[in-house]
Amino acid sequence: MKLRKNKGSEVITTPIIIAIGMIFVATMIVFCIKILTPYIWYEKLSSTCLKYVFIMEEFGYLTNKEKNNMISELVNQGFSKNNLKISCTSQRQGYGNPIYLNVNYTYKLNLPIVGEKTIPMNINRESVSKR
């Protein structure tokens, strides 16, 4: 008994299977990057807050000039000014008195299948005045 080989069907199906696989892998890569993005934004926000806590320790509070510098620095990093709320020690504190910096940011995440989600990012830093 002689077996027939249908090589014509392999020529058509192999590229289709490869294309479907590549589309699936590309979709998974985009999805994973979208999921990891809020963690990167949180770290950017946290490091900027830490920088300004050191400034607060030096002056004993966060001056209006430094607060505006912080907002402009965050906006330059890509944060939306409308989703940013900052509360801090606004009067000069003496040596050893507590100071605080609270920054709240609402990150909007657009996932391809799930839709839009909002992720709250809250940074709370406390220290003492070194002035």
List, for residues 108-120, the tens digit of each pLDDT value. 988 777 788 899 9
Looking at the domain assignment, is residue 53 inside a domain?
Answer: yes
Report pTM: 0.76
Query: By the 8 A CB rule, do 96 and 129 touch?
Result: yes
Residue 107 pairs in a beta bridge with: 119
Alpha-carbon Rg for the chain, nearest whole angstrom, is 26
How many domains are there within the chain? 1
Helix (H, G, I), strand (E, B) or coil at 9: helix
Amino acid at 100: Y
Looking at the domain assignment, is residue 4 inside a domain?
Answer: no
Looking at the domain assignment, is residue 1 inside a domain?
Answer: no
| Among candidate residues 46, 53, 49, the one with its CA nearest the CA of residue 129 | 53
Helix (H, G, I), strand (E, B) or coil at 102: strand
The predicted pLDDT at position 1 comes to 53
Looking at the domain assignment, is residue 5 inside a domain?
Answer: no
Average pLDDT of span 78-96 = 92
Residue 3 has pLDDT above 60, yes or no: no
